[in-house]
């Protein structure tokens, strides 16, 4: 960081700042300019409190140089994180894994049937919520552990790995018994205690972007998981709230290359929640892959009109199969496979 002194700051004030830097076991370098004096802090200051300087006499402002998300950052780490799922599919390399399935697990028959159809169409992972974060407390809240058991049955029959949401700390052990990937929903992106808790597990974490989270807040949320020792975080863009009400959310695909520039973590796009409309999903899958997405997560249902949750954005198995075909052509154009 660089500590910028106020115009007219005294020599003693500059000395105090320099002394504080040394107390933090970092090196100080005082640069006296024509108008301003700055104190450059040399060394890894990412875990140091910049507020310690902001409150000092004579200090105007503190400018960070290194990103605050040390472990998620690309700084000093040129390669990408590659995660291998049970069954052998990978994310972060040339393969673009597709995770598909219903918004919610509704019954054993429903999840097993759709799992077979998704597998046949080329998906490698099965999604489905057993614990559902619902805006309305009277809406269907998910099947709970029974739903997890149905997911496990679908995995046993198809070999698809399971991605399912964990909403609270007290569900983590239970969900870990069944899930291959723990999903942290948009509404929990800044549930810091939950992030830390899943950071203590050995399951990959699919972290969805909060609907009003900035890119930096998103990466700092990932940092919570990484900081607890779990290196396998997958970032998921699922659309943000804007003034636009034609779509359920606005899907900002520019975040894909932006994240690739800043982090080594793989980036998945969810065009289902990102648009809220089934007919927009396929074009956005193609656009996401063109923009460099490392994976896709898609909601599907054998009868979207009867889905208990998110039917309007769910693809039929036929529409999913068509999407896979047309998006694979985009993947090939950017030297990747689906
Ligand atoms: C979901 O995946 O069904 C879901 C609830 O997603 P989000 O947290 O992105 O709204
Ligand atoms: Mn959903």
pLDDT in tens, the chain (338 residues): 999 999 999 999 999 999 999 999 999 999 999 999 999 999 988 888 888 999 999 999 999 988 889 999 998 788 999 999 999 999 999 999 999 999 999 999 999 999 999 999 999 999 999 999 999 999 999 999 999 999 999 999 999 999 999 999 999 999 999 999 999 999 999 999 999 999 999 999 999 999 999 999 999 999 999 999 999 999 999 999 999 999 999 999 999 999 999 999 999 999 999 999 999 999 999 999 999 999 999 999 999 999 999 999 999 999 999 999 999 999 999 999 99
DSSP state of 164: E
Cα dihedral sign, 172-176-188-213: positive
Structure tokens at 110: 């429903």
Which protein residue's CA is at the shortest distance from atom 10 of ligand 1?
Answer: 186
The CB of 238 under 6 Å from ligand 1? The reply is yes
Distance in Å, CA 300 to ligand 1 centroid: 13
Domain boundaries, the chain: 2-63, 83-333
129, 131, 235, 295: residue to mutate for ligand 1 pocket, most atoms within 8 A of CB: 129
The helix/strand/coil state of 225 is helix
Q: Which of 58, 63, 3, 57 is nearest to 28 (CA)?
A: 3
Pairwise CA distance, residues 164 & 143, whole Å:
12
Tell me, what's the pLDDT at 247?
97
Q: Which of 251, 297, 261, 232 is nearest to 92 (CA)?
A: 232
Structure tokens at 87: 């069954």
The CB of 208 under 6 Å from ligand 1? The reply is yes
Q: Which of 66, 85, 174 is nearest to 124 (CA)?
A: 85
Tell me, what's the pLDDT at 46?
80
How many residues would you count in the chain? 338
Pairwise CA distance, residues 148 & 131, whole Å:
9
Cβ atoms 281, 322 nearer than 8 A: no
Q: Which of 246, 242, 235, 306 is nearest to 280 (CA)?
A: 246
| CATH architecture, domain 83-333 | Alpha-Beta Barrel (3.20)
The CB of 103 under 6 Å from ligand 1? The reply is yes
Which protein residue's CA is at the shortest distance from atom 6 of ligand 1?
Answer: 185
Tell me, what's the pLDDT at 121?
98
Angle between helices 317-333 and 108-121 (to 10 degrees): 30
Q: Round the CA-based radius of gyration of the chain to a whole number and report it.
A: 23
The CB of 209 under 6 Å from ligand 1? The reply is no
Tell me, what's the pLDDT at 45?
85
- CATH number for the domain formed by residue range(s) 2-63: 3.30.70.1140
């Amino acid at each position: 960081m660089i500590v910028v002194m106020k115009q007219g700051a005294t020599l003693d004030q500059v000395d105090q700042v320099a002394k504080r830097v040394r107390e933090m076991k970092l090196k100080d370098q005082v640069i006296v300019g024509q108008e301003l004096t700055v104190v450059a802090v040399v060394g890894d200051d990412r875990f140091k409190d910049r507020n310690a300087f902001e409150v000092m006499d004579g200090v105007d402002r503190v400018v960070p140089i290194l990103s605050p998300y040390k472990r998620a950052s690309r700084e000093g780490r040129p390669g990408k994180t590659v995660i291998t799922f049970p069954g052998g599919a990978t994310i972060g390399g040339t393969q673009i894994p597709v995770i598909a399935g219903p918004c919610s697990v509704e019954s054993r028959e429903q999840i097993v049937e759709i799992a077979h159809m998704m597998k046949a169409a080329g998906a490698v992972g099965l999604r489905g919520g057993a614990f559902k974060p619902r805006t309305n407390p009277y809406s269907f809240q998910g099947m709970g552990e029974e739903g997890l058991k149905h997911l496990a049955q679908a995995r046993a029959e198809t070999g698809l790995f399971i991605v399912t949401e964990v909403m609270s700390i007290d569900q983590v052990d239970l969900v870990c018994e069944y899930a291959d990937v723990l999903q942290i929903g948009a509404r929990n992106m800044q549930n810091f205690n939950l992030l830390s808790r899943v950071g203590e597990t050995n399951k990959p974490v699919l972290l969805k972007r909060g609907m009003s989270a900035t890119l930096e807040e998103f990466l700092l949320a990932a940092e919570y998981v990484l900081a607890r020792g779990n290196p396998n975080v997958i970032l998921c863009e699922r659309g943000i709230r804007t003034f636009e009400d034609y779509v359920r959310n606005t899907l900002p695909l520019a975040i894909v290359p932006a994240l690739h520039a800043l982090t080594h973590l793989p980036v998945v796009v969810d065009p289902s929640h990102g648009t809220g409309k089934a007919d927009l999903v396929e074009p956005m899958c193609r656009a996401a892959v063109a923009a460099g997405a490392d994976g896709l997560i898609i909601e599907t249902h054998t009868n979207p009109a009867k889905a208990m949750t998110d039917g309007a954005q769910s693809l039929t198995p036929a529409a999913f199969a068509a999407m896979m075909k047309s998006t694979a052509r985009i993947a090939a154009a950017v030297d990747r496979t689906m």
